[in-house]
């Protein structure tokens, strides 16, 4: 099979046993963490019904992940789905997995009556910016961050 004809991975909820691969995927995104740190994040997000973390599983190999949450926006007066992370492993990119994740995010957000989906992307990730634009996510502003402590 060629890369373009390979079947798309199955999207499924993240499992504690995925922790090592999640740490690697977050590293690709620029947020490296250990297996233990990834496991703690999985365990914290898992029971929260306003959070969802999915992985793209290709016969046991994790090809990517999306983490999202729904929260109320005081400014807009509606619930908003925020994509906190979307990453596809380099050897799986350009096979439709990112679009597959975005379609699932839209389905999940609508099921929770979210009025919109927002995603932030680091300024240096120009390929990601182009991807989001192609998928119908226009750039609407800047985000400013001040760290509080070590986090």
Question: What tens-digit pLDDT sequence spans the chain (151 residues)?
Answer: 344 556 789 999 999 999 999 999 999 999 999 999 999 999 999 889 999 999 999 999 999 999 999 999 999 999 999 999 999 999 999 999 999 999 999 999 999 999 999 999 988 999 999 999 999 999 998 888 898 987 6
Nearest to 64 by CA among 105, 110, 106, 112: 105
pLDDT at 47: 86
- What domains are defined for the chain? 10-134 (3.40.630.30)
pLDDT at 2: 42
CA distance 122 to 143: 9
Residue 77 Ramachandran class (φ > 0 left, ψ -120 to 50 alpha, else beta): left
CA distance 51 to 45: 6
CB-based contact 25:17 (threshold 8 Å): no
pLDDT at 5: 58
pLDDT at 151: 63
pLDDT at 145: 86
CA distance 36 to 38: 5
Burial label for 51, CB within 10 Å (0-12, 13-18, 19+), is middle
| CA dihedral sign of residues 100, 26, 141, 130 | negative
pLDDT at 4: 52
pLDDT at 1: 39
pLDDT at 23: 97
CB-based contact 72:35 (threshold 8 Å): no
């Amino acid at each position: 099979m060629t890369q373009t004809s390979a079947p798309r991975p199955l999207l499924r909820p993240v499992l504690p046993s995925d922790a090592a691969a999640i740490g690697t995927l977050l590293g690709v995104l620029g947020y490296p963490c250990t297996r233990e740190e990834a496991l703690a994040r999985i365990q914290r997000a898992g029971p929260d019904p306003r959070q969802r973390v999915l992985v793209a599983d290709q016969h046991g190999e994790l090809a990517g992940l999306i983490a999202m949450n729904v929260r109320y926006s005081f400014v807009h007066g509606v619930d908003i789905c925020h994509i906190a992370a979307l990453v596809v492993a380099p050897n799986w990119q350009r096979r439709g997995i990112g679009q597959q994740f975005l379609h699932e995010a839209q389905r999940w957000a609508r099921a929770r009556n979210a009025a919109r989906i927002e995603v932030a992307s680091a300024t240096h990730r120009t390929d990601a910016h182009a991807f989001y634009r192609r998928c119908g996510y226009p750039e609407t502003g800047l985000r400013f961050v001040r760290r509080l402590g070590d986090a």
